[in-house]
Chain A
Amino acid sequence: MQESLRNDEELLRQSVIELMDVDIFYGTYKAVKEVNLNIPKNKITAFIGPSGCGKSTILRCLNRLNDLISSFKLKGRVTYHGQDLYAKDIDPVEVRKRIGMVFQRPNPFPKTIYDNVAYGARVNGYKGDLDELVETSLRRAALWDEVKDKLGESGFSLSGGQQQRLCIARTVAAQPEVVLMDEPCSALDPISTLKIEELMQELKENYTIVIVTHNMQQATRVADMTAFFNAEAVGNKGNKVGYLVEFDQTEKIFSNPEEQSTKDYVSGRFG
Chain B
Amino acid sequence: MITTTIGSLKKNSSSPRVILGTVMTGLSGLCMILTLIPLIAVLFFVFVQGFSRLDTDLFTQLPPPPGLDEGGLANAIIGTLVVVGIAVVIAVPVGVLAAVYLSEFSHGNKFATSIRFATNVLSGVPSIIAGIFAFGLLVSSGIVGFSAIAGGVALAVLMLPTIIRTTDEALKIVPQEIRWAALGVGAYNYQTVLKIVLPAALPGIVTGITLAIARAAGETAPLIFTALFSNFWPNISPQGLAEPIATLSVLVYNFAILPFKPQQELAWAGSLILVLLVLGTSILARLATRRKVY
Instruction: Indicate, yes or no, whether A interacts with B.
Output: yes
A68/B183 contact (C-beta < 8 A), A107-B178, A109-B196, A110-B200 known: yes
A:59-87 near B, CB below 8 Å: 63, 65, 68, 70
- A260–chain B nearest beta-carbon distance, Å: 37
Contact B184 A171 (CB under 8 A): yes
**Interface presence of B122 (CB below 8 A):** no
Query: Residue B184 contacts which of A70, A94, A101 (CB distance < 8 angstroms)?
Result: A101
**Interface presence of B187 (CB below 8 A):** yes
Query: Residue B187 contacts which of A107, A120, A167 (CB distance < 8 angstroms)?
Result: A120
A97/B177 contact (C-beta < 8 A), A110-B200, A119-B195, A123-B191 known: no
Contact A107 B185 (CB under 8 A): no
Contact A123 B177 (CB under 8 A): no
Contact B186 A94 (CB under 8 A): yes
Residues of chain A contacted by B200 (CB below 8 angstroms):
109-110
**Interface presence of A253 (CB below 8 A):** no
Contact B195 A63 (CB under 8 A): no
Residues of chain B contacted by A144 (CB below 8 angstroms):
none
Which of A94, A119, A120, A176 counts the most B-chain CB atoms under 10 A from its CB?
A119
A119/B184 contact (C-beta < 8 A), A107-B177, A109-B178, A110-B199 known: no
Contact A110 B293 (CB under 8 A): yes
Contact B178 A97 (CB under 8 A): no
Contact A63 B184 (CB under 8 A): yes
**Interface presence of A93 (CB below 8 A):** yes
Chain B: interface size category: 20 to 34
Can you list, as one digit per residue, whether each of A27-71 has a CB less than 8 Å from chain B (1) or not (0)? 000000000000000000000000000000000000101001010
Residues of chain A contacted by B199 (CB below 8 angstroms):
110-111
- B291–chain A nearest beta-carbon distance, Å: 11
Contact B186 A65 (CB under 8 A): no
Find the B residue at minimum CB distance from A116: B181
Contact A96 B186 (CB under 8 A): yes
Contact B178 A68 (CB under 8 A): no
Residues of chain A contacted by B196 (CB below 8 angstroms):
109-110, 119
A103/B180 contact (C-beta < 8 A), A119-B195, A123-B191 known: yes
**Interface presence of A195 (CB below 8 A):** no
* A176 CA / B184 CA spacing, docked (Å): 10
* A113 CA / B191 CA spacing, docked (Å): 19
A:98-120 near B, CB below 8 Å: 98, 100-101, 103, 105, 107-111, 119-120
**Interface presence of A174 (CB below 8 A):** yes
Residues of chain B contacted by A111 (CB below 8 angstroms):
199
**Interface presence of A124 (CB below 8 A):** yes
**Interface presence of B182 (CB below 8 A):** yes
Contact A65 B107 (CB under 8 A): no
Find the A residue at minimum CB distance from B174: A110
- B232–chain A nearest beta-carbon distance, Å: 49
**Interface presence of B175 (CB below 8 A):** yes
Contact A170 B185 (CB under 8 A): yes
A171/B185 contact (C-beta < 8 A), A110-B200, A119-B195 known: yes
Find the B residue at minimum CB distance from A102: B184
Contact A107 B175 (CB under 8 A): yes
Contact A123 B186 (CB under 8 A): yes
A109/B181 contact (C-beta < 8 A), A70-B107, A119-B195, A123-B195 known: yes
* A101 CA / B183 CA spacing, docked (Å): 9
Contact A105 B180 (CB under 8 A): no
Residues of chain A contacted by B181 (CB below 8 angstroms):
101, 103, 107-109, 167, 170
Query: Residue A65 contacts which of B178, B183, B188 (CB distance < 8 angstroms)?
Result: B183
B:165-180 near A, CB below 8 Å: 175, 177-180
Can you list, as one digit per residue, whether each of A176-193 has a CB less than 8 Å from chain B (1) or not (0)? 100000000000000000
Residues of chain A contacted by B191 (CB below 8 angstroms):
123
Contact B186 A109 (CB under 8 A): no
- B116–chain A nearest beta-carbon distance, Å: 18
* A170 CA / B177 CA spacing, docked (Å): 14
- B28–chain A nearest beta-carbon distance, Å: 38
A174/B183 contact (C-beta < 8 A), A103-B177, A110-B199, A123-B195 known: no
Contact B186 A124 (CB under 8 A): yes
Residues of chain A contacted by B185 (CB below 8 angstroms):
96-97, 100, 119-120, 123-124, 170-171, 173-174
5 contacts between A and B (CB under 8 A): A93-B186, A108-B181, A110-B196, A119-B187, A119-B195
User: Can you name 17 extra interface pairs (CB under 8 A) apart from A96-B185, A109-B181, A110-B199?
Assistant: A65-B184, A70-B107, A93-B186, A93-B188, A96-B183, A97-B185, A100-B184, A109-B196, A109-B200, A119-B195, A119-B196, A120-B186, A123-B182, A123-B186, A123-B187, A124-B185, A124-B186
Question: Which 9 A-B pairs rank lowest in CB-CB distance, beginning with the nearest?
Answer: A97-B186, A120-B185, A101-B184, A107-B177, A174-B185, A123-B187, A110-B293, A123-B191, A110-B200
